[in-house]
A and B are shown apart, each in its own frame.
Chain A
Amino acid sequence: DAKTTQPTSMDCAEGRAANLPCNHSTISGNEYVYWYRQIHSQGPQYIIHGLKNNETNEMASLIITEDRKSSTLILPHATLRDTAVYYCIVRPNSGGSNYKLTFGKGTLLTVNP
């Protein structure tokens, strides 16, 4: 699986947009970009995924660059409950949800009041 690089930590003010970057320069054509987050002492939570088009759901937006070597997860209006470690994961979509996930160190996002 392609490796991802994320900043170790980021801060964001409550109510502002949080933009979390991820570098995946070795991504291959059949690999998707997935984002999960883990609130302290809880299991990870799926956020969003995409292949090459930008995606939006009720939680977040995912912007993938045209060359697919990087992406940005956007939380449009961060709240204190969004404080968590955010993981960017690249994986093939063949096998669907049965394909194992490899978690890196992620980005600790701290939303401040």
Chain B
Amino acid sequence: GAVVSQHPSRVICKSGTSVKIECRSLDFQATTMFWYRQFPKQSLMLMATSNEGSKATYEQGVEKDKFLINHASLTLSTLTVTSAHPEDSSFYICSFGHGEEQYFGPGTRLTVT
């Protein structure tokens, strides 16, 4: 149980385009979910926290107009990277809170060329 999926697992896009990443909880519902990103050889950094049906709370230094989060249901959240640039290339990971733990998706590797 407590499976989280992400789609796509890898994406390559051109600079200036937008990319949408989906995160789904497959066998549970959650009101709160989190988006992280991880640069090579670094740890996970929290980008934002979102609750279903309300606006996301972004961490300091994360541009809310660039990283659009839609938490439309208890099982689905999307992260859209708008006007992507090479410095946005990273590993993006979502997680849902469930029980006493967080369950993480497998991650999406974004490469912006």
Contact = CB atoms under 8 A, between A and B. Distances in A.
Contacts, number: 58
A96 B102 CA distance: 9
Interface stretch (B12-20, B60-68, B71-79, B105-113): B105-113
Interface of A: 34, 38, 41-46, 49, 87, 93, 96-106
Interface residues of B, number: 28
A100 B34 contact: yes
Nearest to B43: A103
B46 A97 contact: no
A53 to B, nearest CB: 15
Q: Do most interface residues of chain B lie in helix, strand or loop, or is the interface mixed?
A: strand
Nearest to A87: B43
A27 B102 CA distance: 21
Give the residue among B6, B44, B46, B105 with the most A Cβ atoms within 10 A. B44
A104 B100 CA distance: 20
Contact of A101 (B6, B31, B102): B102
B85 interface: no
